[in-house]
Structure 1
Amino acid sequence: MKFGEIPVGQALGAILAHSVSHTGGVFKKGRVLSERDIAELADGGIGSVYVAQLEADDVGEDEAAQIIAGALAGDNTRVRDAATGRANIMSALDGVACIDVQRINQLNLIDESLTVATVGAFEVAGAGQILATVKVIPYAVKRGVLDIALDILADQPALSVQPLENRKVALIMTSVPGMKASLHEKSQAAMRGRLEALGSTLDEVKITEHRIEAVAAAITAAAPAHDLVLVFGASAIADRKDVIPAGLVEAGGEVVHLGMPVDPGNLMMLGRLGAIDVIGVPSCARSPKVNGFDWVLARILAGLDVTSGDIMGMGVGGLLKEIASRPAPREAGPR
């Protein structure tokens, strides 16, 4: 692509790089100059303009952006028509954004002329939300750049949305002597709000003693009729032998992972009883503010498998905003 300032008389068919005012108004940048345009500019005393002139191996910005966006977009997405070198990919429904981070990075490393920006991997997205934008920086990209990008995306799209499904969820809360009923009410309200926002239903709530045997019995009873079991302990989980994980094991389940590199949310437990996920909910989830538990919850409600390795990989970006009301802030106040 040629770019620069040229005499107006030589600009026929060129792309105007900067907006130009003339006697009849304004020609906006990106306009392909016609014979009539050239005449108006000349009549207005404009002798030269900054333009881009495409060469044989160039692909125009809109065409290139549209092609790349189409190759990127997978299930439950839609691509908007490109304009000004930009093509947006939208979510077609409420769900979780599944992004191949490695291939997005590969695309952005091809050449500075081509960029792809996305929402975060596994971010909850609403229907109609922008998931990604493909932006061509100059007025064209080289055919070779486009070909490399299409090779990267040849096997399958790098962006899709896994739909959130209406899942039946059981909530078990443990209690100890002297525990206020208002704490259970607060926990239940926060959990109901989370689930409803993600399209699922809090189907059953049970309060039981904070003992291994009681937790085991409650999980055993709840699991067969539900898609997910949440256990809110009267105290935080401190070890795999603590009440909640030990109760799950006694029920015949397994602890997949205890703890996570996300704060708030460090003391979450992910477990399974057969095919049913069982989550030991961290105390911070009594607040409706986002914590690490929310990241795992959204994936599970979208039907995505969450592994121990997935949780261990959440550390970058896992230091969330401080919650002023949390009982153990990261740093003590001034003494």
Structure 2
Amino acid sequence: MLFGPVPLEDALSGVAAHSVRLPDGVIKKGSRLDAERIARLRSAGVREVVVVRLEPGDVPEDEAARRLAEAAAGENVRVEKPFTGRSNLFAQAAGVLVVDRDAIDRLNGTDEAITVATLPAWKPVEPGEMIATVKIIPFAVPERAIAAAQSAAGAAPLIRVAAFRPLRIGVVSTLLPGLKPTVVRKTVRTLAERIAPAGATIVRDVETPHEAAALADALAGLARSDAQLIVVFGASAITDRRDVIPAGIEEAGGVVDHFGMPVDPGNLLLLGSIAGRPVIGAPGCARSPAENGFDWALQRLLAGLPVGRAEITRMGVGGLLMEIVQRGQPRSGDNPGHDPAEDDDS
């Protein structure tokens, strides 16, 4: 690509590299300098203009952006028609954004002329939401640069939306004398609001004493029902793999896959399964509508994405979330009389 100032008489068929203000208007950056525009420039006293000329093997910015955007787009992603070297990508379904970060990094590293930016991976998105953009910096790039970027990115789509599924959810709330019924009901309503964007519904809502045997009976019943995912809200936080909720899962014939997560609030989340159904032992912070680690696990399960030890242990970077009012012990400040065993918030 040729770029630089040329005498006006040599600018015909070039592309204006910068906008030029004239008494009768503006010749915008990227405009083709045809005879009419050249005449306007001459009448305004312009004698020299900075132009761009493509050389053999150059790919115009819009075409380059389109090709890379279409190569990056996967399931449930729409590519917008490019303009000024930019092609935006939009979600076509409600779900979780899945991004191949390593491939995006490789693509962005191939040539400074080529850039791809996305929303954070694993973010829940809505239909029509902009999720990524491909921007070509100059007016054109060599074909070899596009080929190198495509090669670096690989054959698989880089950006896709795992669509939410309208799962049927069973809920168990364990009870202790100090837990107000209004708290239990509000917790279930908050869950219903959380799953509404996915079209999921609560089909079973069970209350039981905070005892392993009673919980096991409730879980076994849900495992025989039409519930596809089970959420357990404990009257007291899970503090050990031998605590009431994990013990109840195992007594019901299930397994505990992982306990704890590097997301705060949300540290005390538990994952298990019964009869092929995922079970989430919710941390206390899940009673709040504020974002916490429970959301991260729940959203992926609703989108049909794997959630196990490998996925949970990779959530630490970015896992320090905003403080929430409902936490029994805020991160900052001294509380010498606090007993961690009584902390149901994380």
Tell me which interval the TM-score lies in, with the shorter structure as reference length: over 0.9
Aligned residue for 1:271, secondary structure, equals strand
Q: CA deviation at 1:51?
A: 2.3
Q: Which runs of 4+ in 1 moved over 3 A?
A: none
Shift of 1:153: 4.4
Confirm or deny that 1:97 pairs with 2:97: yes
**1:104-135 Cα deviation digits (max 9, x unpaired):** 11111111110001112121111111111000
Tell me the amino acid that sits aligned with residue 290 of structure 1.
E
Query: 2:63 maps to what in 1?
Result: 63
Are the equivalent residues in 2 in contact too, given 1:168–1:228 (CA < 8 A)? yes
Aligned equivalents of 2:230 and 2:279: distance in 1? 5
Task: Tell me if the contact between 1:77 and 1:91 (Cα under 8 Å) persists in the aligned partners.
Answer: yes
Q: 1:230 matched to which residue of 2?
A: 231
Q: 1:249 is matched by which residue type in structure 2?
A: E
Equivalents in 2 of 1:234, 1:64: separation in Å?
Answer: 57
What letter corresponds to residue 309 of structure 1 in structure 2? A
**Cα deviation, residue 197, structure 1:** 2.7
Aligned 8 A contact 1:258 1:270 in 2: yes
Partner residue, 1:141: 141
> Partner of 1:3: helix, strand, or coil?
strand
Q: Over residues 213-265 of structure 1, what are the superposed CA-to-partner deviations in whole Å (9 max), with x where a residue is unaligned? A: 11111111112321100000001110100110111111111111111000111
Partner of 1:194: 194
**How much has 1:151 moved relative to structure 2?**
2.0
Equivalent-residue separation in structure 2 for 1:154 and 1:315 (angstroms):
27
Q: CA deviation at 1:4?
A: 2.3
Question: Could you tell me how far apart the structure 2 residues matched to 1:305 and 1:274 are?
Answer: 17
Q: Give the deviation of 1:101 after TM superposition.
A: 1.2
- In structure 2, runs of 5+ residues without a counterpart are 337-346
- Evaluate the alpha carbon distance shift between residue 291 and residue 109 of structure 1 in structure 2; reply closer, same or farther with a 3 A threshold: same
The alpha-carbon deviation at position 334 of structure 1 amounts to 10
Equivalent residue, structure 2, for 1:110: 110
TM-score normalised to structure 1 length: 0.96
Give the Cα separation in 2 of the matches to 1:36 and 1:190.
Answer: 64
User: What's 2:268 paired with?
Assistant: 267
Match of 1:204 in 2: 204
Indicate whether 1:288 and 2:298 are aligned: no
Residue 132 (structure 1) aligns with: 132
- Rounded to whole Å, the distance in 2 between the matches of 1:46 and 1:233 is 76
1:258 maps to which residue? 259
Counterparts of 1:288 and 1:331, CA distance in 2: 21
Shift of 1:6: 2.2
1:182 maps to 2:182: yes
* In 2, Cα distance between equivalents of 1:223 and 1:11: 75
Question: Within 2, Cα distance between the matches of 1:285 and 1:36?
Answer: 65
Match of 2:221 in 1: 221
Choose 154-163 or 122-131, whichever is displaced more.
154-163
Unmatched runs of 5 consecutive residues or more in structure 1: none
2:310 matches 1:309: yes
CA shift, 1:154, in A, is 4.8
Task: State the TM-score, normalized to the length of structure 2.
Answer: 0.93
Whole-Å separation in 1 of the counterparts to 2:277 and 2:261: 20
Are the aligned partners of 2:171 and 2:205 in contact in 1 as well (CA < 8 Å)? yes
Q: Residues 25-75 of structure 1: CA distance to partner in whole angstroms, max 9, x if unpaired?
A: 111111121122112101110112222222213211100000000111111
Letter in 2 for 1:97: L
User: What RMSD, in angstroms, separates the aligned Cα atoms of the two structures?
Assistant: 1.5
Q: Are the counterparts in 1 of residues 107 and 150 from structure 2 also a CA contact under 8 Å?
A: no
The offset of 1:333, in angstroms, is 6.1
- Give the aligned partner of residue 344 of structure 2: none
Contact 1:104 1:116 in 2 (8 A): yes
Q: Which range moves more in the overlay, 30-39 or 150-159? A: 150-159
Number of residue-to-residue matches in the alignment: 335
Alpha-carbon deviation of 1:202?
1.1
Report if the CA contact (8 A) 1:71-1:153 is conserved: no
Q: CA deviation at 1:94?
A: 1.0
Could you tell which deviates more after superposition, 112-121 or 149-158? 149-158
- What aligned pairs does 1:9-48 form with structure 2 within 5 A after superposition? 9-48=9-48
The CA distance in 2 between the partners of 1:119 and 1:94, in whole Å, is 14
The AA in structure 2 aligned to 1:326 is R
- 1:198 deviation in Å? 2.5
CA distance in 1, matches of 2:98, 2:73: 11
Distance in structure 2 (CA, Å) of the matches to 1:219 and 1:264: 26
Answer yes or no: is the 8 Å Cα contact 2:104–2:153 preserved in 1.
no
Q: Distance in 2 between matches of 1:195 and 1:293?
A: 12
How many angstroms apart in 1 are the aligned matches of 2:148 and 2:259?
Answer: 42
Task: Tell me if the contact between 2:103 and 2:154 (Cα under 8 Å) persists in the aligned partners.
Answer: no
Paired amino acid for 2:89: I
Q: Which amino acid aligns with 1:123?
A: K
* Counterparts of 2:324 and 2:276, CA distance in 1: 34
Distance 1:285 1:334, change over 3 A: closer
